[in-house]
Amino acid sequence: MCKGKVDVTFDFTMDSPGYWDGFWERNEGLGAGACDPDACSPTLQRYHQLLWSKTLPNGEAFELMQGTGPMYLNWRGMHFGSDSILASFRYRDNRSVIEAVERSMPDYQTFMEDFLHKTYTIGGMIIFPKHHGSMNQRRGTDKQIRDRWDLTMECIRRFYNGENSPLSDVMEHDRDFYALFNNFKGYVDFFYLQDCVTEDYKQVRFWLGDGNFSNPPLPQTVDEYLAWIAAELDFLDKRNARIKAAIEQ
């Protein structure tokens, strides 16, 4: 596939100019990178092009071409950008939980920096169609999703089943994209997301709660937060292993 060209351990913050410069001074002390790897890492852009340029479940060849700016991958009139799928919820309206987590451990900053170094590997990234109000924007701003990947996957599962979800409208807008994968299983397998779902692909494995969109999506306690982070890292390790196995075939 692309053996030797994709390193699943490469940290995309390392070639995103100035990412760590003044990190803890941004976002009112909650931390933020100077340059988002989704837009700034040339290695991430190249890896996306290499990994996803393959035969689609519908039989077509998904040969991604390099574009410019945030829409840096193109195919047959569709434009794609990168999205980080693992979140630490360092939001201003979640400050009380983050500060409680900080008090619970001896060195929170090192803990969080380690999390970011790990999750900015290719196993923590995906592509979506890029346009105003696109999936990577909407799943972050929707109050029922708040950047949770497990809830995003539940929305995608429901879309393929013809069920409504908080993200139905943006997926309907991108219907031609999701049709490329035929069904939920096709989407999951194409992007190596099998560890997000049950073996029969009928249910999403939720990392917090039951996925009914009626409860607050963010962790409410230190224990919930740490369990969430652990679940994300477990998924990350498994997805990176799947990607590594695929490219070595």
**Chunked mean pLDDT (size 10), the chain, 249 residues:** 82 97 97 94 96 97 84 89 97 97 98 99 98 94 97 98 98 98 99 99 97 95 99 99 95
Whole-angstrom Cα distance, residue 160 to residue 180? Answer: 12
Say whether pTM exceeds 0.85. yes
Residue type for position 122: I
Half-sphere exposure of 1 (CA within 13 A, CB side): 17
Q: What is residue 76's predicted lDDT score, i.e. its pLDDT?
A: 94
Q: What is residue 69's predicted lDDT score, i.e. its pLDDT?
A: 66
Q: What is residue 143's predicted lDDT score, i.e. its pLDDT?
A: 96
Number of helices and strands (H, E) in the chain?
A: 10, 4
Question: Edge-to-edge strands of the sheet including 71-75?
Answer: 65-68, 71-75, 78-84, 125-129
Q: What is residue 235's predicted lDDT score, i.e. its pLDDT?
A: 99
Please state the φ and ψ torsions of residue 109, each to the nearest 5 degrees. Answer: -60, -40
